[in-house]
Amino acid sequence: MRSFVGHGVGEIFHTTPSVPHFYDPHSDTIIEPGMTFTIEPMINEGSWELGRIWPDGWTAPTRDGSRSAQFEHSLLVTPTGVEVLTLLPGETR
């Protein structure tokens, strides 16, 4: 799904960087220690194109109505790697 992206988390919640969940050869984003952002991939069985968002303002079907799955994690980039901030107790990455 190319209509949604992950995003930076800071004093303003939905901020830069935008994190596309598909290959973008024109992306010039550099990930550096101290950055916090979300990844929110959406996996679609059929079309990657967005259909009409439902009246609930939340449900975002594909144009062809195929099944989809979406999840989100928040990440903190550290000098030695990445810390997944949204793991449940006992989960490992």
Number of domains present in the structure of the chain? 1
For 76, the domain range is 6-18+29-84
CB count in 10 Å sphere of residue 51 = 15
- pTM reported for the whole predicted model: 0.76
Distances (CA, A) of 58 to 18, 19, 43, 65, 93: 20, 20, 16, 15, 27
- CA–CA dist 13, 5 (Å, integer): 13
CB-CB contact of 32 with 82 (8 Å): no
What average pLDDT does the structure give for the chain? 87
Residue 89 inside a domain? The answer is no
pLDDT, tens digit, 9 for 90 and up, residues 16-50: 888 888 888 888 888 899 999 998 888 888 888 98
Residue 48 inside a domain? The answer is yes
